[in-house]
Structure 1
Amino acid sequence: MYKPFLEYLEKELFSRFDLSSKPIPAGLEANVSNRGKNQATIQSWCYECPQLRKIRYTYIDAGASAQVFNSVIYPSYYYDIPLLGIDLLSFGKSKILIVLDFQPLFQEESYLEKYIEPMRPLREKYNDLAQKLEMKFYDANQYFSKYLLFAKTDAETVKTTFFEAYQEYINLYWEMLDKAEILDRTEDIQKIIKAQKDYDQYSADRDPASGLFSSYFGHEWSEKFLYEFLFEDAVPLAVPNATR
């Protein structure tokens, strides 16, 4: 269902940037599971370029049971712009969820005015894709913008209206990147490094997809995938010893 979204992003990336492959830890770039009703495959890609220090995207294909496309794009530490986050999930025909956002590193008003307010016209254009759904695992006021697209929808809307919105949001992100000023003060760069690491830790600690990965590919593989690839700057939470 989401292959056109992957292909569009890939085409944009390769046409706009001088990409180099970024190594994925051995054994994590792909996997196959026969645990579910349908065979499930997972495949990931990772690239980098001067403007974007980490571009990762993953596709899970379990036939009619599950289709998932997830991507996060991390700008270079020399830019303070938000991350681009994409999470598209389908579990059968009736459970389809889309999330698309410029994920802010900071919540200061001046930062939001500079990087989030430009999203407003697109959000207003696609307001039907911005439902007021509960975020069960995340704080909506941390690493999410008020103009994100977040909706339960149907396959036809995904293929039409949302695909249009997806392309426009991504093009707006490229425009923002083109206009971004390069940071040259050490303290500013260190602030971005810390903010991106904090994002990884926050996300890894709360990511509900870890349960999905475990159900298909086992707990050990899923933990490695989460902490060594998806959110490689996060540190696994310490598990206290069981007491009798």
Structure 2
Amino acid sequence: MTLQRANSSDPLAITGWAWQPFLDDAVAALQTFEPQPYPIEQDFLFKQGQIGSRAKPVTVTTATWACRTEKFRQVRAACVNGGDAASVLNFVINPSSKYDLPFFGGDLVTLPGGHLLALDLQPADKSDEQHTRPVWDQLMPIFERWREKLPDGGPIPEEAQPFFSPGFLWTRLPLGEEGEHLIETVVRPAFNEYLSLYLRLAATAEPVSDQRSEVLFAGQRRYTDYRAEKDPARGMLTRFHGSEWTEAYIHEVLFDL
């Protein structure tokens, strides 16, 4: 596809990018919601930089795909392809506050030290049982089934815990054949099952009252403010593309609420 269509309902096609099948799966699953383009400035749709030495430079590409639907304010994928240095898919669905839905979050990261992989249906307000229980009752059996097939990724910081569900699937896998096998046979079907549940919840979601929408919007703001402040990709993107571009990308594209 051409770069000018990178924010349409068609998926990106990034040469040699490891996570392309996951994005293709997600975009195909979204088609029933009739996605429309989500506006993103050209400078953020496609960005290239170089790292490494003069003798052995490595080209790094950061590309963005985005759309929106009636029930999703913004669906976006931040995609990084830097060869052995980094391969990343950060896929997030930001729901409209007119519907009582969580966020969908998928982080698929390959670095020289291994794979860091996370899936969740993240609450706008973890303390709000009306918001969480209908989701977690369906999410937890899925989580339990896949969790036993993957090593645990370790504890998450206490300050981050309000922004994750008890169904947060988080693992670290080694590079090489073992890790690749688990990504294809466990992580990819888990990604698709988490996303399938999310889309089923969205399909049946009914509009909420204006008062309830305000409560949900406030929770979404807390979530996106936290994610923008603590984005773990900040250091990597700064190294690839500089601080000014990175800060604008984080605040104007990734977490633009």
TM-score by shorter chain over 0.5: yes
1:7 to 16, 20, 24: 24
1:117-156 matched pairs, under 5 angstroms: 117-127=137-147, 128-129=149-150, 131=152, 133-136=154-157, 139-153=159-173, 154-156=179-181
Amino acid at match of 1:60: V
Deviations 1:204-225 (A, max 9, x none): 1111111110010000100110
In structure 2, the CA distance between the partners of 1:132 and 1:221, relative to structure 1 (3 Å rule), is closer
2:217 to 166, 180, 193: 193
Is contact 1:96–1:155 with CA below 8 Å preserved after alignment? no
2:118 to 85, 99, 105: 99
Structure 2: distance between partners of 1:135 and 1:215: 25
Is contact 1:20–1:48 with CA below 8 Å preserved after alignment? yes
RMSD value, Cα: 1.6
Structure 2: distance between partners of 1:61 and 1:182: 38
2:218 is equivalent to residue 218 of structure 1: no
Deviations 1:98-128 (A, max 9, x none): 0110001112334322212211111111113
Aligned to 2:6: none
2:98 to 78, 83, 108: 78
Instruction: With the length of structure 1 as denominator, give the TM-score of the two structures.
Output: 0.89
1:19 to 23, 35, 48: 35
Deviations 1:33-91 (A, max 9, x none): 11235211010011111111111111100112210000110112211110000110001
2:208 is equivalent to residue 179 of structure 1: no
2:69 to 39, 49, 58: 49
Structure 2: distance between partners of 1:157 and 1:132: 14
Instruction: With the length of structure 2 as denominator, give the TM-score of the two structures.
Output: 0.84
Amino acid at match of 1:214: T
Structure 2: distance between partners of 1:7 and 1:155: 18
Structure 2: distance between partners of 1:144 and 1:54: 19
Amino acid at match of 2:76: R
Is contact 1:74–1:84 with CA below 8 Å preserved after alignment? yes
Deviations 1:165-198 (A, max 9, x none): 1111111111111222211x22111112222122
Give the superposition deviation at 1:130.
6.4
Secondary structure of the structure 1 residue equivalent to 2:118: strand
Is contact 1:123–1:130 with CA below 8 Å preserved after alignment? no
Percent of residue pairs bearing the same amino acid type: 27
Is contact 1:56–1:72 with CA below 8 Å preserved after alignment? yes
In structure 2, the CA distance between the partners of 1:78 and 1:130, relative to structure 1 (3 Å rule), is farther
Structure 1: distance between partners of 2:206 and 2:79: 33
Unaligned ranges ≥5, structure 2: 1-17, 174-178
Aligned to 1:28: 44
Is contact 1:55–1:72 with CA below 8 Å preserved after alignment? yes
Unaligned ranges ≥5, structure 1: 234-244
Give the superposition deviation at 1:24.
0.7
In structure 2, the CA distance between the partners of 1:85 and 1:78, relative to structure 1 (3 Å rule), is same
